[in-house]
Amino acid sequence: MARDIKWALHEAEEAGYISRITVDDKDKKKLFNSSRKGALALLIGSVVVLAIAIGIVALLVAFVHIIVYSIKMIILYIFLLILPFYSVYNIFAVSKAIRKDDCDFYVGEILTKTDKGYKVKGLEDQDLSFIGGTKSELAPGSRVKIYRLNDSVDLFDL
């Protein structure tokens, strides 16, 4: 289980694996906009998936007269119903963090690349990916910039 991200960053900074950096306001605004876009994309995606799921269930009921009541399907329905509410919460959480300027910027060193992203020295229990798109492959030992907003952490390159 991953540690709380603020605590993990604090421990990695104390151990000397990562160090704080400053980012100018223009670049900070770009990162904030990328975070807002990500939160909005989650909302749009969750509503679209929910609409598709409702459509499939409606088609099954209307034309095939099948209502699926297995425990797996009920759990899936509940998840699909909760996801849009979570995405609305996420939009408010991101906006609040931006308003409070609850962000930190660090520089660290890549350990390895995994299927889910990159491992950074000192943050081995976190899989980090680049915010706002992908970057070319990085070799172990490469220096990367780390962006924490509220309880999420990403890599960035400006």
pLDDT digits (tens, 9 = 90+) for 51-100: 998 888 888 778 877 776 777 778 888 888 899 999 999 999 999 999 99
SS3 for 110?
Answer: strand
Complete DSSP assignment for 113-149 = EETTEEEETTEEEEEE-BTTS------TT-EEEEEEE
SS3 for 59?
Answer: helix
pLDDT digits (tens, 9 = 90+) for 8-55: 999 999 999 999 999 999 999 999 999 999 999 999 999 999 999 888
The CA dihedral of 86, 35, 124, 112, to the nearest 10 degrees, is: 130
Cα of 51 vs its chain's centroid, Å: 23
Model confidence, pTM: 0.81
Its domain, for residue 61, covers 5-156
Domain count of the fold of the chain: 1
